[in-house]
Structure 1
Amino acid sequence: MTLIRLIRIAWVLSRYRLDTLLNHQQVPWLIRFSLWFFPLRWIIPARGSDGRRLRLALESLGPVFVKFGQILSTRRDLMPAEMAQELAYLQDRVPAFPGKRARHLVEEALGASIETLFLEFGEEPMASASVAQVHAAKLPDGQSVVVKVIRPAIRRVILKDIRLMELMARLVNTIPDGRRLRPIEVVDDFRKTILDELDLLREGANMATLRRNFEGSESLYVPWVHWDYTRRSVLTMERISGIPVADVEQLQQAGVNMKLLAERGVEIFFTQVFRDSFFHADMHPGNIFVNRAHPESPQYIGIDCGIVGSLSREDQSYLAQNLLAFFNRDYYRVAELHVESGWVPAHTRVNEFEAAIRSVCEPIFEKPLAEISFGLLLVRLFQTARRFDMTVQPQLVLLQKTLLNIEGLGRQLYPQLDLWATAKPFLENWVREQVGPARFLKAVQQHGPGWIAKAPQMPDLVHDTLMNLRKVGGVEQRIQAELREVRAEQQRANRKLTRRLVAAVLLLFVFWTGDPGAWLQSLSPKQWAGLGLGAVLLLWP
């Protein structure tokens, strides 16, 4: 089956002429030679852009490759803009599997018949994505829900296709230009992301956390999860009714305040990142709706929380300071923060890094502030930092992707959106809250009970620590003594070697200046002295 799949992949690659994506001058000769055997390259011309042909090829190869294309579209730091834009069209374009099969999967997962579990269950899927599809249903008490079902046998298909992707990634990695795209790393990220999405219990937990974080909020609503009807392969959640956020015409007809809606999207993002350190990292338009109830005070509805991101407190702090430094065009501080945070190696020359950042940012800041894409600014910053051996930070890649989605959506809803007019006060307040008495009191409030609980153990811990230090000190003294002995032995060996070298030179002098045939009979006093001294040095212990 693997061979058949490989042949199928080769056929699709040749059908859509993806061989043209390779720079033939930099491809190893073996790959360049194999390209001559692409079956359709001599018949079908390469029609359309590179990105469009890549998108069509991924669609033809099925759900796993479609999902890979979706994730690849978020790596704008690695891909040309046109190609990333084409791959972004892959959302929700996967054929559904039969509804009867979905019924069977739900019954198998929940251990009962559909008639026992639900008052109603719609076999016609409401939507179909790359790894799952959703069906409308009603619980026995009449509550409307949607049931998300993982595609049958998708895990086995995913693992097989990932193995093939890894093989192709290794081939691409042999090309100099391909190596720059880090294909092995991209496939590895894809493996982790998609296998996490197959666990709907994890997605349900993400939804519950996000819902709790925004409980009572006017900005964001997250549906509740019905845990009694949820398993690893089945997720049952509240059915929501809203306007798709991408349907701008319907939003305007409903009288939605578009300016406030766009600003709230930005506020939600920064609140998730900096207040909660837990953000929805798959906020494409297919996963966002707008509540119809209060158009003058619009509320987002978020679904599909399979991918979430989080930042450490250190990353939060450095990111906030980075963004503020960008706003103030303090490029030296941006470079410093990258070194301090460990995002680039400690040996990086800050002045050189600052100059590189300045060359990227100054042309962007020539535009009016309201027209600047700060998501794109982050992309270009990461591209620049990679030249200075910046290690890939997965949490920052997710953040960058989410910021691009939010910014693009906000400008689609309200083209005059000034991202910084909304974001800057939030960031400044957050940075202020991280220092000063208020932050100290909050830390005491959070950790004080734990400190008090541990206080009785402190004398014993201090005593044990001091005893361990004493032991460590004794061990260190023994090690130092052994090192001194080793150094002394090395010095003795060096002196012995020196003496023997001198002896060899003296003996060579004796033989070189004497007659080789009769040197013993005709040795001069000088030569006898040299010979004796050489023998003494040679035999000296």
Structure 2
Amino acid sequence: MPPFPLPPSLEDLQQKLTTALRPWDRSVQFWVRAADIYSSYKVCQLRTTFVKDREKQEAMWERQHEHAAEKLYSLCTDLGGLFLKFAQIVGKPDLAPAAWVRRLVTLCDKAPSTPFPVVCRILEEELGQNFSDLFERFDVEPVGSASIAQVHRARLRSAKIDVAVQHPGVQHLMMVDIRNLQAFVLLLQKTDIKFDLFSLTKEAEKQIGYEFDFLREAEAMEKIRLFLHANNKKVPVLVPRAIHSMVTRKVLIMDFISGIPILNLGNEIARRGIDPDGNVAAMAKQKILKNLTLAYGQMILKSGFFHADPHPGNILICKDSEASRVA
């Protein structure tokens, strides 16, 4: 006679309850915060109608953008997930007020990280081996945590590698987030926006779904890496090589490339004793921009297959003497 199953522990029940309630909690937080930001803009809109001076109106709107940027930053950092993706898209000068761009551009790798024991469990389940048998060394703290995954440094067969591990449950939460965002956009279209923003969110829903398949991402990385190696040798743009025998839908292991996040380039230039606003720094930045532009020109015009997510968190500047190599 088989033994009776043990009753679930208090910790298990708490974890299951937290998981079940998390989508509801996120939805409530989103709507409360979105309503707060929206209403503040409507109040500002009303106040400016009583001000005739154009410069004063612009100053009022600038203060409102600064105020809203802080609230939007808090929403994105607290909820993470899709809203970090939203920050990457909206945080561009051609899409959002300058105050938003200044605040949101720093959100590239600020997502909450998954606890290390959970990371170990995911790696064991995905790769089918005990964690202790997988790596020679594995850094407990991630070097970065983004909306879908976090990255750890490790060593495999004496070689440095980066290990990307998908956050558990993130796909379901992102789908909850995008449904809330779509409902909010429909509301805006009825009250304020005079163009079809909802269709953009539907396309975003489709494209974001692809990002949860790291097997697909590894294939795309390899295709671009081989193309640039063969066709763009004069421009030093590097793409990490995926270790395909250790890639699953939720785990992506690739070669380690040492580099400086592009947003930290100014600090690195200053650390070397160079004026970040001087001519030498300007020439280095211009060379980086040229390399990226040439690489994208090759990908788009010659290959037709290109990296479509070039936000600052996806670009590293390699640490050579000219600070011009891009990964």
TMscore range, shorter length: 0.7 to 0.9
Partners of 2:106 and 2:142 lie apart in 1 by: 21
Listed as ranges, the matches of 1:184-263 within 5 Å are 184-215=198-229, 217-218=233-234, 219-246=236-263, 247-251=265-269, 253=272, 258=284, 259-263=286-290
Moved beyond 6 Å, runs of 4+ = 23-26, 254-257
Map 1:55-70 → 2, pairs under 5 A: 55-70=73-88
**1:228-270 alpha-carbon deviations (Å, 9 max, x no partner):** 1100100000011123333134247399861433322322222
Letter in 2 for 1:191: E
- 1:212: Cα distance to partner? 0.4
Which residue in the other structure is 2:100 paired with? 83
Q: Which secondary structure does the structure 1 equivalent of 2:248 belong to?
A: coil
**Residue 63 to residue 290, structure 1, CA distance change in 2 (3 Å):** same
State the TM-score, normalizing by the size of structure 2: 0.74
Are 1:133 and 2:150 an aligned pair?
yes
**Do residues 298 (structure 1) and 324 (structure 2) align?**
yes
Between the aligned partners of 1:85 and 1:76, the Cα distance in structure 2 is 13
Partner residue in 2 for 1:21: 41
What is the CA–CA distance in structure 1 between the aligned matches of 2:44 and 2:262, rounded to whole Å? 43
Aligned residue in 2 for 1:322: none
Matched, 1:72 2:79: no
Please list the CA deviations of residues 309-348 of structure 1 after superposition, one character each: whole Å capped at 9, or x if unmatched: xxxxxxxxxxxxxxxxxxxxxxxxxxxxxxxxxxxxxxxx
TM-score by length of 1: 0.47
Query: Where does 1:129-168 land on structure 2 (aligned, <5 Å)?
Result: 129-139=146-156, 141-168=157-184
User: CA distance change for structure 1 residues 162 and 260 in 2, over 3 Å: closer, same or farther?
Assistant: closer
**2:133 corresponds to which residue?**
116
CA distance in 1, matches of 2:79, 2:259: 33
Q: How far did 1:129 drift?
A: 0.6
**Could you tell me whether the CA contact under 8 Å between 1:147 and 1:235 is conserved in 2?**
yes
Q: Which is richer in helix?
A: 1
Instruction: Report the counterpart of residue 61 of structure 2 in structure 1.
Output: none
- Equivalent residues in 2 for 1:461-476, closer than 5 Å: none
Asked if structure 1 preserves the Cα contact closer than 8 Å seen for 2:318 and 2:326, the reply is yes
How many residue pairs match? The answer is: 277
Name structure 1 gaps, 5 residues minimum: 27-45, 302-541
**Matched residues in 1 for 2:31 and 2:129: separation?**
43
Contact 1:12/1:61 (CA < 8 Å) preserved in 2?
no
Q: Does the CA contact (< 8 Å) of 1:103 and 1:114 recur in 2?
A: yes
How far apart are the structure 2 equivalents of 1:286 and 1:186?
23
Amino acid at match of 1:55: Y
User: Hey, what does 1:172 align to over in structure 2?
Assistant: 188
Equivalent residues in 2 for 1:377-456, closer than 5 Å: none
Q: Does 1:53 align with 2:71?
A: yes
Letter in 2 for 1:172: L
The whole-number CA distance in structure 1 between the counterparts of 2:219 and 2:75 is 34
**Paired residue secondary structure (1:112):** coil
The share of aligned pairs that are identical, in percent, is 27
Q: Is structure 2 residue 94 aligned with structure 1 residue 94?
A: no
Shift in CA distance, 297/131, structure 1 to aligned 2, threshold 3 Å: closer
* Residue 27 of structure 2 is aligned to residue 10 of structure 1: no
Shift of 1:169: 2.0
Letter in 2 for 1:270: G
3-state SS, counterpart of residue 310 of structure 2: coil
Structure with the greater relative contact order (CA < 8 A, sep ≥ 6): 1 or 2?
A: 2
2:76–2:87 Cα contact (<8 Å) kept? yes
- SS in structure 1 at match of 2:240: coil
Q: What is the rounded CA distance, in whole Å, between the counterparts of 2:193 and 2:77 in structure 1?
A: 22
What RMSD in Å do the two structures reach over aligned CA positions?
3.0
| Cα deviation 1:431-478 (Å, max 9, x = unaligned) | xxxxxxxxxxxxxxxxxxxxxxxxxxxxxxxxxxxxxxxxxxxxxxxx
Q: Give the unaligned 5+ runs of structure 2.
A: 1-20, 47-63, 274-279
Are the counterparts in 2 of residues 125 and 135 from structure 1 also a CA contact under 8 Å? yes
Q: In the superposition, relative to structure 1, how do residues 89 and 284 fare at CA in structure 2: closer, same or farther (>3 Å)?
A: same
Alignment of 1:361-372 (within 5 A): none
The corresponding residue for 1:277 is 304
C-alpha offsets along residues 138-183 of structure 1, whole Å, 9 cap, x if unaligned? 22x22211110110111111122222222222222211x3243x33
Contact 1:223 1:239 in 2 (8 A): yes
